[in-house]
Structure 1
Amino acid sequence: MNTVRNVRLSRRAALLGGLGVGAGLLTGCQAKTPEVDPRNELALTKPPTSTSQPVTIDRKIAAGRYRDVDIVLIRPAGIPPGPIPVCVALHDKVGGARSFLDLGVPDVLTELVRYSSVPFAIAAADGGNWIGDKDDEPMRMLEEDLPEWLEYHDLATTPFAAVGIGEGAVGALNHGRKSTGIEVVAAISPTLYESWAFAEQSKDFESRAQWEAKEPLRHPREFANLKVAVWCGTEDEAFLDTAKDFAGKVGAKGHWAPGGHNAAYWKKALPEALKYVGEHL
């Protein structure tokens, strides 16, 4: 396996990559070159002269979910072909992987990388409600299926970050505390429940035991080695208090701005969340 796929480039390394990197990347697309420095393959110091497809939509069989799922891969426009770091994106329960297109992520990512961030890609997959059951294991999909899909599409196989919305924010937090590769989590409007009484009403969980195992509020110490930030609208009456409670328990940076538990707020929060992710490359 190409070792570049598992390399996450630091901001300092990217900025010190030197001129002429874009040309080196184009040459690498035509023929293999010996002793290629992985850092130089990822660094960008001038506008590229060749681009890859910014958005790719694929359909794959997810062994973890026992079904076909949509895969949406979003690269910044204007970035030469080749492996770049990946942030996995987990949708809200009522959406799917394609919902990140509706929320404007391609344009947000392109603008972010153009002006302030080392290039990285977004990878989203249909995950249901991200809790799963005996015949549906979305976390297993992320751990076992996603790396192969990323390799097939010439991206780094180990995501360095996770961003999630609603139920997907809880999924991102759980993925972060269980995965050895995730270092950064951006949680937008996380559906956190302070008690089983509230969790049971959501119909997301099969049992109290499942809620206790999956509820981030019950496992604050497991986030000690993660960089975590939380966003929630101040009119999100159902989840603002628990979002603040979680942020306080894990020492996460909290962002509380006007908005509800809806797409209008998520469109406002996503640029900040992705900027936070990019700052930790």
Structure 2
Amino acid sequence: MPTAQAQLMNGTDLARTLIDDTARRAAALTRDQHVVPTLATVLVGDDPASVTYVRMKQKRCERAGLRSEHVALPASTSTAQLVDALGVLSADPGIHGILLQHPVGDHIDERAAFDAIAPEKDVDGVTSQSFAAMALGGNGFASCTPGGIIRLLDHYAVDPAGMHAVVVGRSPILGRPVGMLLLGRNATVTYCHSHTRNLGSIVSAADLLVAAVGKPNFIVGEDIKPGAVVIDAGYNAGNIGDVEFSSARTRASLITPVPGGVGPMTIATLLAQTIDAAEPQTTAGE
């Protein structure tokens, strides 16, 4: 008798739908207000992976009818210089969203850099104000990967209310904010990290698991509760996630593949939030 397989949560198709809607909104803004929504990307240094990510985001902008403006800064850029550059972009009425590609280098105070972005242009959801909004339910943008995860859950009719959600990872742009968003949806949230003891037993109690630790195949299927929803937000060399997919799929009810799950939703959410930022900025300028 064949083993049951979890349903795949297809982020690629959902992202395409979201980008199509974003393109429609961008066209309407350009037609009605004569404004082209613009995303500024800022890159410090020339790390090959970061260069590739930025170039990919620029291409997606073009396909969706958004303009992208790129600011390339040398690896020697100081915190003060980066903060100044972000301040200039924040004050520019022609820029509607700002993305600071991270990491920015160990010599830079990343938090100071993030918080130099005007909150109304923080379409990547990285400022302290945006995190406060995710935690407290105020106005602000969600971090793009957590925001994409919530969109995926909604699309597949997964209501976190009452679920025990376990988040493995506590980064300020993924683990921590996704836990806050799930808490806002009335889930009971447990955070796990490198100092967590008996991780397997905690994971096995999760109705909803978000793996965001950045270690390939870190979570194995035998630790997953039968019927759990598994969100693999990891992406490691060789297109490998943080969850051992083959074994997890025989235990979960829903699971995101890597690639094709969370990743496409991250960029789609970034573009959608750029339009979300552009619309009120354009109205305010009338």
Query: TM-score normalized by structure 2?
Result: 0.38
Q: TM-score scaled by structure 1?
A: 0.39
